[in-house]
Structures are given as structure tokens and as C-alpha cells.
Amino acid sequence: MMKIAVIGGGPGGALCSSILAQKGFQVTLFDYRAAWEKPCGGGVTFKAIERYPFLREAFHPHRAIQAIEVHSPRNQNVTVPLTSPLSIYSRNTLNKIVLDLAVSHGVNFLQERVLGFSRTGSQWLIRTDHANHEADFLVGADGVNSFVRKILGSRFAAEDLMLTFGYRLPVGMDDRIIIKFYPSFHGYLWAFPRPEHVSIGICGRLHRYGMKELKEYLHGFMKDFLSPEAFESMDRIIYSSLIPSLRPESLHHNTFCGDGWALVGDAAGFCDPITCEGIYYALRSGELLAEAISQRNLGTYPQACRDDFMADFIHGANLFDRFYAGKFLGSDFITRMVLCTRRCPVLQSTMNSFVSGRQNYRTLKLTLLRKFPQILMELLHES
């Protein structure tokens, strides 16, 4: 029986483990933290819920988001009701759902810290703080700072990473998410309601912005969001992390598998380059890798990822600078799109499709061209 070692118990690693165990492989999953609270918004798209119904069927606390509120760099805003709600989980809860599923399917979960690994012939030796373990295949699902990637692949460049900074606040918020953009800023601020708190944070290109600048933007928003008095007096949990946001050339040359090993999720760089959404792609890459391993044909894994989402990532990465810094009809692109969306139900429908995961970057231009006559009529009618 082939032995698989998976390092990292987040959604990608846990789902990959779960599928492989169901197919008869002997799978050991390592994560010293078990389920843990990762610093991110925790949004799960409707597309992810449709593909992985166990997320919907698990009776764990989550928020069903009914609207998205977008604020442009010139302080214009639009609120769009969501026809397909976005689900917001605590990452501790989300990780636990998938980890419990893996254990229920026979995965040997070890809450041990992996200290290193080496290879002799076709065998991997994994050293933890408790013991040594052997495996025939190694999966790196250990996040953006993956030491599996650093040893077997290559480190991410600063230009391919977003730096995040934020808080978990013990306040209430209705069932909407807030996204705010700033002038000439390559990134965005978010406020996501979770079952027991609000996750509020900001992300920006690592090579452009430092922590001090991110804090200034975020604190300015929070003083309006909370009131200055509440902001000064409130207890809050601080978080910071990195998120992959690969440039087109980096996506073209991204190496995420080799002889006897492969990466999934953030470790592989699988996040939307503009929105930085990564939960669906962690799950999907874990599923695609499990299929390739079970077919004893790892060579299908890179092409499956390219066909499924990486080609679309390249389209998104090519739009990155135009999205954040482009001009359109005498204004910045985001402000102009917010103003048009506020007046145009067709654009609101397109935003709905994008948020739900049904609309991708590759076909976005074609979708807008096809709908342009109707968009123009609605804009003229509202003028």
C-alpha cells in the first residue's frame, strides 16, 4: 500500500488526505496546530459550497452574507444584494470541518511539528518533534511560508506576495461585507462578519507597502467604523500574514510538483491574484492532486491545475495593475465601475456572478461586450 505524507492540515491538505484515504492509500497528515484560526476573511464562495457540499451539510456556525458594499478610491460606493450568498466561517471552524472529514475517512492525523525531511531512493523520511515517519510520496500543504516549497521548489518573490494586517473585533455587524479601495493603492481593505466577531484587515503588495502604512489606512477606517472612542478602548486580536498573488511571469514558471512530491493551496501559490481568495483553490488543488496520485500519473496534475484555474489566474494577473491603477472615462477604473454599477442592474448581476465564482477573468470581457447594449441603455435611462 502506497504511503502518503501530507504536511499541513488546512482545507487543501485535509481534503487531499481524505480523498486519498477513501481510495485505499495509507495517509498520514501532520499539523501541530490541528484546526486553528488563520488570519483571513474566511469567505467561502457559492461555487465552493456547490462543489463541496460537506461544507453546507456540516452544522457549524457561519454567516450567510446577503450583500457586498464596495467603496471606491474617490469615496463613491455601491451596495449589491447577493443572489447566491457568500458563506463566512471562522477559519478554525472551516479547518475543523475538513480535518474531521479526513479523520472520519481513515487518515492518520498526527498533531506533531515537522522539523525536516529527506529522501533516500524513493522513500521520504519525515522528522517530527515526536518521531520519524516514512512515506512514498510527500505533499506540501503548509501555506505561503511552506518549507516544503523552499526546499524542493523556489521561494516566492516579494513582488508575488500581499502583506496583510488586521484585527478580530468583538463587535456586531449585519450580513454584508465591506470592501474599500484607496487612491493609488495596490490592495484593499475588508470587513467580514463572522459568527462571533468581525474580521477587519487590509492587504497590499509586499514590495510596495510596509506594516506602518497598512496600519495607517486600516486605523483611519476603523475610527469611522467604530467611532474614535470605541477604537481606543476596544480589546482586539491582531493578525498579520502573507498571501500569494503571483504575477503572470511567475504563474507561467511556477513549479509546484516534482518526482515524488507536490504542493497544494497557498504553498503552490494558488490564490486569485486580485481578490486573494484562496479557500476554493486550496480545496480544488487538493482534489486534483488526489486524482493524479490515485491514477499513478502525477504528470496530469500541473495540466489539470492550468486547465481548471491557473489559466484564469494569468488573465487576472494581467489585469492587476489596470484594475488598481487604471483610468477609465476620466476617473480611476474602480470609481468609474462603482458609479456605473450603482446605476446598472446588469453590472450588479455580473458582480454577483463574479462574487459567487461563476464569472471568471477569461470570459469577463466577452460577457461585458455581449451585455454592452443593455448596459448602455440602463446607464442612459438613469442619466
Mean pLDDT by 10 residues, the chain (383 residues): 95 97 97 74 86 82 90 95 89 88 96 95 95 97 96 95 90 91 95 87 94 93 79 76 96 96 98 95 98 96 97 96 89 93 93 91 90 84 66
Taking the C-alpha atoms of residue 226 and residue 204, their distance in angstroms, rounded to an integer, is 23
| Structure confidence at residue 225 (pLDDT) | 81
SS3 295: coil
Residue 112 in 3-state DSSP?
coil
Closest C-alpha to 190, from 280, 68, 86, 92: 68
- pLDDT tens for 328-358 read 878 899 999 999 999 999 999 999 999 989 9
Question: Strand pairing partners for 232?
Answer: none
| Cα gap 262→17, rounded to integer Å | 13
Q: Identify the CA nearest to 300 among candidates 311, 292, 308.
A: 292
Contact 63, 41 (CB under 8 A): no
pLDDT at 236: 76
382 neighbors 344 (Cβ within 8 angstroms): yes
Regarding the domain delimited by 3-34+93-156+249-318, which CATH topology (the fold level of the hierarchy) does it fall under? Answer: FAD/NAD(P)-binding domain (3.50.50)
- 179 is written with which cell numbers? 470592501
What residues does 85 pair with on adjacent strands?
none
Q: How far apart are CA 114 and CA 127, in angstroms?
A: 6
Three cell numbers, residue 108? 492518520
Contact 374, 368 (CB under 8 A): no
- In this prediction, residue 56 carries a pLDDT of 81
Domain boundaries, the chain: 3-34+93-156+249-318, 326-382
Cell of 293: 496520485
Q: How many residues are there in the chain? A: 383
Tell me if 166 sits within 8 A of 40, measured CB to CB: no
Position 73 scores a pLDDT of 95
DSSP string spanning 239-268? EEEEEE---HHHHHT---EETTEEE-GGGG
Quote the pLDDT of residue 59. Answer: 65
CA-based radius of gyration for the chain: 21
Looking at residue 382, what is its pLDDT? 64
Give the pLDDT of residue 117.
96
Q: How far apart are CA 364 and CA 47, in angstroms?
A: 17
